[in-house]
Chains A and B, each alone.
Chain A
Amino acid sequence: MSSPSLEQGLSNQIADLRPTPSQLMWRRARNHRGLAIGSLIVFIVLLCGLAAPFIAPHDPYAQDLTKRLLPAVWSENGTWEHVFGTDALGRDYLSRILYGARISFLIGISAALGSCLIGAALGLLAGYYGGRVDSVVTFFVSVRLALPVVLVALATVSLFGGKLWIVVAVLSLLLWDRFAVVVRSATMQLRSQEFVVAARAMGCSTPRILLGELLPNLVGPLVVVGSLEIAHAILLESALSFLGLGVQPPTPSWGLMVAEGKGMIFFDSRLIALPGAAIALLVLGINLVGDGVRDVLAPEGKA
Chain B
Amino acid sequence: MSSPILSVRNLCVTVPTPTGPLEAVRGIDLSVARGETLGIVGESGCGKSVSSLALMRLLPSFIKVDADAMELCGIELLHRTERQMADLRGDRIAMIFQEPMTALNPVLTVGRQMTETYLRHRRAGRREARERAVDLLVRVGISRAAERMKVYPHQLSGGLRQRVMIAIALLCDPDLLIADEPTTALDVTVQAQILDLLADLQRERGLAMIFISHDLGVVARVSHRVQVMFSGQTVDAGPMRELLVHPRHPYTRALLSCIPRRGQRWGKDKLGAEQEASA
- B97 and A198 form a contact (CB under 8 A): yes
State the Cβ distance, B197 to closest chain A Cβ, in Å: 11
Interface of A (DSSP majority class) = helix
A86-109 interface bits toward B, Cβ cutoff 8 Å, 1 = contact, 0 = none: 000000000000000000000000
Q: Choose among A3, A12, A15, A203 the residue with the greatest number of B CB atoms under 10 Å from its CB.
A: A203
A-B contacts, 22 of them at CB < 8 A, read A4-B189, A4-B193, A9-B143, A11-B157, A14-B157, A15-B156, A21-B152, A194-B98, A194-B102, A195-B103, A195-B106, A198-B104, A198-B165, A200-B58, A200-B86, A200-B89, A201-B56, A201-B90, A204-B120, A212-B116, A216-B105, A217-B106
A20 and B105: CB pair below 8 A?
Answer: no
The residue on A at minimum CB distance from B85 is A203
From 154 to 190 in chain B, residues with beta carbon under 8 angstroms from any chain A beta carbon are: 154-157, 159-160, 165, 168-169, 189-190
Is B9 part of the contact surface with A, judged by Cβ < 8 Å?
A: no
A-B contact count (CB 8 A): 91
State the Cβ distance, B241 to closest chain A Cβ, in Å: 26
Which residues of A are found within 8 Å of B165, using beta-carbon distances?
198
Q: Is the CB of A194 within 8 A of B160?
A: no
Determine whether the beta carbon of A213 is less than 8 Å from that of B56.
no
A195-222 near B? 1/0 per residue, CB < 8 Å = 1011111111100100011001101000
Within 8 A of A (CB), among B109-136: 116-117, 120-121
Least Cβ distance of B153 to chain A in Å? Answer: 9
Determine which residue in A20, A197, A200 has the highest number of CB atoms from chain B within 10 A of its CB, and name it. A200
* Known A11-B159, A11-B160, A204-B86; further 10 A-B contacts with Cβ < 8 A: A4-B192, A18-B155, A194-B99, A194-B103, A198-B97, A201-B56, A201-B94, A203-B90, A216-B107, A217-B106
Are A216 and B108 CB-contacts (below 8 A) given A195-B103, A205-B86?
yes
- Quick check: B155 and A20 within 8 Å, CB to CB? yes
**Residue A16 lies at the interface, judged by CB distance under 8 Å to chain B:** yes
Q: Answer whether residue B36 sits at the interface, using C-beta atoms and an 8 A cutoff.
A: no
Interchain CB contact under 8 A, B159 and A217: no
State the interface size on chain A (CB cutoff 8 A).
31
> Is B90 touching A202 in the complex (CB atoms < 8 A)?
yes
Q: How far is the CA of A244 from the CA of B269 in the complex (A)?
A: 90
**Neighbouring A residues of B103 by C-beta, 8 Å:** 194-195, 197-198
- Compute how far the CA of A53 lies from the CA of B90 in the bound complex, rounded to whole angstroms: 56
Which residues of B are found within 8 Å of A75, using beta-carbon distances? Answer: none
* Alpha-carbon distance A4/B188, docked complex (angstroms): 11
A219 to B107, CA, bound (A): 10
Interface residues of B in 47-92 (CB under 8 A from A): 56, 58, 83, 86-91
List of A residues within 8 angstroms of B154 by Cβ: 21
Task: Out of B95, B98, B102, B192, name the residue touching A195 (CB < 8 Å).
Answer: B102
B105 touching A12, Cβ below 8 Å: no
How many angstroms between the C-alpha atoms of A20 and B150 in the bound complex?
12
3 closest cross-chain pairs (CB), A and B: A203-B90, A202-B90, A203-B89
Taking CB atoms and an 8 Å cut-off, the chain A residues in 149-208 that contact chain B are: 193-195, 197-205, 208
Contacting B105 at CB < 8 Å: which of A4, A200, A203, A213? A213
Assess whether A8 is interfacial by the CB under 8 Å rule.
Answer: yes
Distance to closest chain B CB from A160 (angstroms): 40
| Complex alpha-carbon distance, A7 and B157, angstroms | 11
Q: Which residues of B contact A14 (CB under 8 A)?
A: 157
Alpha-carbon gap, A16 to B152, bound state (A):
11
CB nearest to B105 among chain A residues? A195
Question: Which residue of chain A lies nearest to B171 when distances are taken between CB atoms in the complex?
Answer: A202
A202 to B118 Cα, complex, angstroms? 9
Bound Cα distance A35, B4 (Å): 63
CB distance from B178 to the nearest CB of A (A): 8
- The residue in chain A whose Cβ has the minimal distance to the Cβ of B154 is A21
Q: Which residues of B contact A199 (CB under 8 A)?
A: 105
Give A15 to B164 CA distance when docked, in angstroms: 15
CB distance from B158 to the nearest CB of A (A): 9
A16, B90: Cβ atoms under 8 Å? no
Q: Which residues of A contact B152 (CB under 8 A)?
A: 20-21
Are A198 and B95 in touch, CB under 8 angstroms? yes
Q: A193, B102: Cβ atoms under 8 Å?
A: yes
Contact A7 B120 (CB under 8 A): no
Residues of A within 8 A of B95 (CB): 198, 201
B116: min CB distance to chain A, Å: 7
Chain B residues near A202: list those with CB within 8 A. Answer: 89-90, 94, 117, 120, 168-169
Interface residues of A in 5-27 (CB under 8 A from B): 7-9, 11-12, 14-16, 18, 20-21
Query: What B residues does A12 contact at CB under 8 A?
Result: 143, 157, 160
- Which of the residues A9, A194, A200, A205 comes within 8 Å of B83, measured between beta carbons? A205
The CA-CA distance from A193 to B104 in the complex, in Å, is: 9
When distances are taken between beta carbons in the complex, the residues of chain A under 8 Å from B105 are: 195, 199, 213, 216-217
Contact A8 to B159, CB < 8 A, known contacts A203-B87, A216-B105 = yes
Q: Are A203 and B104 in touch, CB under 8 angstroms?
A: no
By a CB distance below 8 angstroms, the chain A residues around B193 are 4, 8
Distance of A157 from chain B, by nearest CB (Å): 39
